[in-house]
Structure 1
Amino acid sequence: MTTVGIPIVSVLGAGVIASGMIENLQKAGIVVHGYNRTRSRLTSLLSNECIFETPRDAAAGALAVISCVSDDLASSAVWTGPFGAFMGMKGDAMALECSTLSVEYLEEWFRIADAGGIAAMDAPVTGGRTGAQKGRLSFFIGGREGELQAEIVRLLSVMGSRSIYFNERGHGMKFKLAYNAMGAAVIAALGESMALVKQAGIDSSAALEAYSCYGLGAASTKPKFMAAGDYGYVECSIGTLMKNAEYAMSFAAMADLELPVTSQAYRQYVIAADAGMSRQDVAAVHETVNSASIK
């Protein structure tokens, strides 16, 4: 699990968050082995010998295997099956699932890990592109403080500025879905607010300053992008937040709850995705207020 005393960490994925993780781990002197379905996305991050053809090979000899991928299907593809990461993990290596996934899938993921005698923990992240690049991610950990080995805690501190322990397996992911339900609703509501500001002819520079008074981060940072119609700098994409809201509603159904605000927000993201905005930043949901209405 080390190379001449240097720990090896395997990272599965090469998206915005995973790329930031890789860069910060390497800055800390940690050897990173990577796998991504599209190999070329890793070539600017890792040397050729550190990029592997299968998740199983990438996981071999690693102290920790970290997955940060798009959804349930992508997670299953990197962890399970004969070439999955679980097949390459040995000894006391730790599996950390940092993606945002459905509760139903996570339960199956734990079942497979348990069957293989693999230590596994949910640790979904928040912080977006900026947090990933600057090593300021927040981890929502489905376990108790003290359960993780000191080496794993250090890895988390390299990639993030905060780890919050939810004391029970799976509860980090469950909270992440609740957290994203809030985010989906807030940003959709902000899009409507900005549309009202524009329609009323309110001074945009004054409005942007005033939005910064609001406590929630998105309400302070997204208005400038909505005002400019600039959605190219992607902190979190429309497609990703739409998926997260869908998983949150599925979780709510399991708990026999209805989420009317989240459901309404979800429909806005569907409109945006159907309009070709799936890969744009979530701020683009603002465009749906004028282009289509929800009945």
Structure 2
Amino acid sequence: MAKVAWIGLGVMGFPMAGHILKKGGHDLVVYNRTAAKAKEWVEQHGSGQTAATPAEAARDADFVFCCVGNDDDLRSVIIGPDGALAAMKPGSILIDNTTASANVARELYAAAKEKGIGFIDAPVSGGQAGAENGVLTVMCGGDADVFARAEPVITHYARMIKHIGAPGAGQLTKMVNQIAIAGLVQGLAEAIHFAQKADLDIPTVIDTISKGAAQSWQMENRWEAMNAGKFDFGFAVDWMRKDLSICIDEARRNGASLPVAAVVDQFYSEVQKMGGNRWDTSSLIARLNASDRK
């Protein structure tokens, strides 16, 4: 049993912290920028404590987990007089589940190392459903010995955990993940749109092609939403655009060419203009159907 701090109780962090409590039996202290959310977490789980600042949450913790919005959010809760690093003890480990840049991962790794604290960048894939069911894929960057110590605690909310390499490697792998997804979702949107225009029976088509080379997680889990045009769930377009902006920015640095990711990012901007900021990423089909009505 370890003392664990959790910073950030959004749609992902809220259930992830719950799995650490329920499956690991660890002593948890939680912090959220909106204090009412932290209070709700403690009341719902009937255990744990709330903290007024990230530093208060992290004090004396063996492991500090963080899951917030972006680079700036991450810096605000980790660095500074009220940040987690100000109170963490030497030998403890900071695990960051935020999808952020590789640059900020390396920056936080260096800041933690100066204080004798381990750091793992550990972005996740699997969405809200994966977080709620404790079956996320976790991509980790950092020192191998630190990862080995953190892995048993990360396991509580994960189905797959992999140490990829040096600090920042977890974030870079998450970028690879999002680049692949962007192309898959657009391809699936166009395929279903085409099938609809051809007056095919969509369930029959999907049942057939999902058994062949076209099969993907997106097809299995998102074709029904696309066909029905209902997107009020899942991984929000705003979040995907944030992730793609990180990918495109990194590509400018490393020289990678991302023509499909860049185009899909612009398609998502059109979905946002349709009012789809919080729609699931499968809503790419909505802009295709909207263009038909013009």
Q: TM-score, normalised by structure 2?
A: 0.90
Please report how far the alpha carbon of residue 144 of structure 1 lies from its aligned counterpart in structure 2 after TM superposition: 5.8
Computed over aligned residues only, the root mean square deviation of the Cα atoms, in angstroms, reads 1.9
Larger deviation, residues 244-253 vs 33-42: 33-42
Is 1:284 matched up with 2:288?
Answer: no
Please report how far the alpha carbon of residue 103 of structure 1 lies from its aligned counterpart in structure 2 after TM superposition: 2.2
- One of 161, 164, 167 as aligned partner of 1:166: 164
Q: Number of residue pairs matched?
A: 286
Is 1:37 matched up with 2:36?
Answer: no
1:245 — aligned with what?
244
- One of 10, 17, 41 as aligned partner of 1:15: 10
For 1:167 and 1:292, the matched residues in 2 are separated by 44
Please report how far the alpha carbon of residue 265 of structure 1 lies from its aligned counterpart in structure 2 after TM superposition: 0.9
Structure 1: tracts of 5 or more residues without a match: 1-5
1:131-170 deviation per Cα after TM superposition (whole angstroms, max 9, x unaligned): 21121111111146544354x2211111112111112221
Q: Secondary structure at the match of 1:277?
A: coil
Q: TM-score, normalised by structure 1?
A: 0.90
Please report how far the alpha carbon of residue 102 of structure 1 lies from its aligned counterpart in structure 2 after TM superposition: 1.4
For 1:91 and 1:211, the matched residues in 2 are separated by 54
Identity of aligned residues (%): 23
Report the AA paired with residue 266 of structure 1.
D
Task: Please tell me whether the aligned partners of residues 271 and 292 of structure 1 are also in contact (alpha carbons under 8 angstroms).
Answer: no
Report the AA paired with residue 188 of structure 2.
L
For 2:279 and 2:123, the matched residues in 1 are separated by 22
Larger deviation, residues 255-264 vs 208-217: 208-217
For 1:138 and 1:30, the matched residues in 2 are separated by 21
Task: Please tell me whether the aligned partners of residues 239 and 279 of structure 1 are also in contact (alpha carbons under 8 angstroms).
Answer: yes
Please report how far the alpha carbon of residue 226 of structure 1 lies from its aligned counterpart in structure 2 after TM superposition: 0.8
For 1:154 and 1:217, the matched residues in 2 are separated by 27
Q: Secondary structure at the match of 2:274?
A: helix
For 1:93 and 1:259, the matched residues in 2 are separated by 38
Query: 5 Å matches for 1:147-226?
Result: 147-150=146-149, 152-213=150-211, 214-226=214-226
Please report how far the alpha carbon of residue 42 of structure 1 lies from its aligned counterpart in structure 2 after TM superposition: 2.7
The verdict on how the C-alpha distance between 1:212 and 1:41 changes in structure 2, with shifts beyond 3 A counting, is farther
Q: Secondary structure at the match of 1:37?
A: coil
Report the AA paired with residue 76 of structure 1.
R
The verdict on how the C-alpha distance between 1:168 and 1:49 changes in structure 2, with shifts beyond 3 A counting, is closer
Query: 5 Å matches for 1:77-116?
Result: 77-116=76-115
The verdict on how the C-alpha distance between 1:146 and 1:216 changes in structure 2, with shifts beyond 3 A counting, is farther
Structure 2: tracts of 5 or more residues without a match: none
